[in-house]
Structure 1
């Protein structure tokens, strides 16, 4: 006869890693990477951590708080540089490109940042660096302050657009739409359809930043 098998004791199981805000955010970001932002729910994160959803509320204030913590983690990955007035424009382009890259690497997070004012340490340090670079470029304080909002909005919008472009051929679809319009009613759109959809996300983003900076410099000089 076969000897009865002993049921596995809970003591034999590997000990679960202790819960913490970092562990919760790590699990949420892993789900984001594999399944997208909609899949990041309190229940899904709790399952990944082998716990109940209620236990997560000790570390984050519901899903909204979880998304805020994820956003803050992403923003904290953006490297900041000491301000150099001799190359402020290059520095600003580089900072904004790093912000854009961080959001693109975490699809969906940019959309959560569009309506979130900077309140956390990471967000405030980023704002401080951006404002310092603009002031070093000779932009007057009020224009520089407003420009931080405009530039942050450009970054998040460009990242959201990149999220869409990653899954859909937006340029091709728009070009087909534009060239299919009646030329007698939309002569300029049909003639310049190629120019309207030209450029990848990086080129269009850099152009948008340069337009803002040129306007700031002209306004400050006036």
Structure 2
């Protein structure tokens, strides 16, 4: 190939889109959706963007920074609530349900967020919003602060459980019911007698009940003061 042909082929090749943090996160989320969270590496994201891993460090500080940027994108898309004392309990449920659905829609991301402190703009705004709703509902400031921490644990673990269910298509409730009812009743009289209650409710129903239990408990604490 002569030099003129090389210049012409170079010009005819489609130009790569410019790199940016948004482009890096977009590529990482596509890999997450198609291959799972373990496949989200600097090398694979760089390959998807037709560049080298070193070029990504301009936008994210390694894989941990990449996962944080993905979490930021996901949480930033969750619609917040304007605190309303007249419907604050419903607002807590709606906000947490949206966050839970966002994590479930991105399998594996909840496990990466479970130990992450609220550092990004999106997670700090979510924290601010939750505190505003709980304080509008009349909770004491310390109780409201603890509630936010408990809710984060509930959301993350519920989403992680949903991820596990995807990997195990058999109905977990049926499996548990069979296991509980097969136990010797003379040794486990309560479990065998209440096996149906132990497995009743899908993950969304159980999540709703857990959030209500936290709210009711904290309201009772406030009332005792």
Alignment of 1:122-161 (within 5 A): 122-161=122-161
Aligned mates of 2:112, 2:74 — CA distance in 1: 12
1:221 equivalent among 217, 220, 223: 223
1:111-126 alignment to 2 at 5 Å? 111-126=111-126
Q: How does 1:189-200 map to 2 (within 5 A)?
A: 189-200=191-202
CA deviations 1:170-212 (Å, max 9, x no partner) are 2222222212211111111112112111111110000000000
TM-score w.r.t. the length of structure 2 is 0.93
1:27 corresponding residue in structure 2: 27
Looking at structure 1, the residues matched to 164 and 124 of structure 2 have their Cα atoms a distance apart, in angstroms, of 28
Aligned residue in 2 for 1:104: 104
Match of 1:206 in 2: 208
Within 5 Å, give how 1:4-43 maps onto structure 2.
9-43=9-43
**TM-score for the superposition, normalised by structure 1:** 0.94
Measure how far apart 1:10 and its partner are. 1.9
Q: Which whole-Å deviations, capped at 9, do the CAs of 1:20-48 have from their partners, x for residues lacking one?
A: 11100000001111111011111111111
Task: Indicate which of 172, 178, 181 corresponds to 1:179.
Answer: 181
Question: How much does 1:56 deviate?
Answer: 0.9
Q: Provide the C-alpha distance between the structure 2 equivalents of 1:207 and 1:75, rounded to a whole number of angstroms.
A: 23
Quote how far apart the aligned CAs of 1:133 are.
0.4
Unaligned runs of 5+ residues in structure 1 are: 1-5
Shift in Å at residue 145 of structure 1?
Answer: 0.7
Give the aligned partner of residue 82 of structure 1: 82
Query: Cα RMSD over matched residues?
Result: 1.2
> Which range moved further: 119-128 or 163-172?
163-172
Instruction: Note the residue ranges of structure 2 that are not aligned, 5 or more in a row.
Output: none
Aligned length: 217
Whole-Å separation in 1 of the counterparts to 2:80 and 2:144: 18
CA distance in 1: counterparts of 2:57 and 2:178, whole angstroms: 49
